[in-house]
């Protein structure tokens, strides 16, 4: 038969002496449990908020990278189009140059019929000096 516990005996906490490493502070003081769980909840909320901020930052960076990739693709396509247009214009310019050359050779205005009228020009250097009166003298 068990004896009923006195009021005085009911204030004691049963603690096992088998493994002290498993004791938590709330086991020793039940009032600490609510403040400890509140602190854990606050820590978890802070971690969740930090994770949310990191996720938003990663999403923003990914969107920025995608936008830059699209811009690069657009610029690359534009460069290719400009190169193609440049080659086309060079080809047309060459054709027009040849056409003008053919017209000039076929035109009598650009051809000399008299061989004596063809002059050979020679460039002789002139040395200029200024006289004491400020007039230009050619030597």
End-to-end CA distance of the chain: 147
CA atoms within 13 A on the CB side of 98: 6
Question: pLDDT per residue over 107-124, tens digit each?
Answer: 888 776 555 555 554 545
Element (H, E) at 137: strand 136-138
What 8-state DSSP symbol labels residue 97? H
Give the pLDDT band of residue 24 (cuts 50, 70, 90).
low
128-130 and 136-138 as β-strands: parallel, antiparallel, unpaired? antiparallel
Q: What is the pLDDT of residue 100?
A: 93
63-87 exposure pattern, b = at least 16 Cβ within 10 A, e = fewer: eeeeeeeeeeeeeeeeeeeeeeeee
Higher pLDDT, 107 or 6: 107
pLDDT of residue 126 exceeding 70, the answer is: no
Task: Count the neighbouring beta carbons within 10 Å of the beta carbon of residue 32.
Answer: 13
Euclidean distance between CA atoms 60 and 67, whole angstroms: 11
**Residue that wins the pLDDT comparison between 123 and 46:** 46
Q: What is the mean pLDDT of the chain?
A: 75
Residue 131 has pLDDT above 60, yes or no: no
Question: Is the pLDDT assigned to residue 86 strictly greater than 60?
Answer: yes
Tell whether the model's pLDDT for residue 50 goes beyond 60. yes
pTM passes above 0.75? no
Is a pLDDT exceeding 90 seen at residue 54? yes
């Amino acid at each position: 038969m068990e004896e009923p516990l006195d009021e005085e005996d009911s204030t004691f906490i049963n603690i096992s002496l088998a493994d002290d490493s498993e004791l938590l502070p709330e086991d020793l003081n039940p009032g600490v449990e609510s403040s400890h769980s509140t602190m854990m909840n606050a820590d978890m909320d802070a971690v969740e908020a930090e994770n949310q901020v990191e996720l938003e930052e990663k999403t923003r960076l990914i969107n920025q990278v995608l936008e830059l990739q699209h811009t690069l693709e657009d610029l690359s396509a534009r460069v290719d189009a400009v190169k193609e247009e440049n080659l086309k214009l060079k080809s047309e310019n060459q054709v027009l140059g040849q056409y003008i050359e053919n017209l000039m050779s076929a035109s009598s205005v650009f051809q000399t019929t008299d061989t004596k009228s063809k002059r050979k020009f020679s460039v002789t250097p002139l040395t200029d000096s200024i006289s004491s009166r400020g007039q230009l003298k050619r030597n």
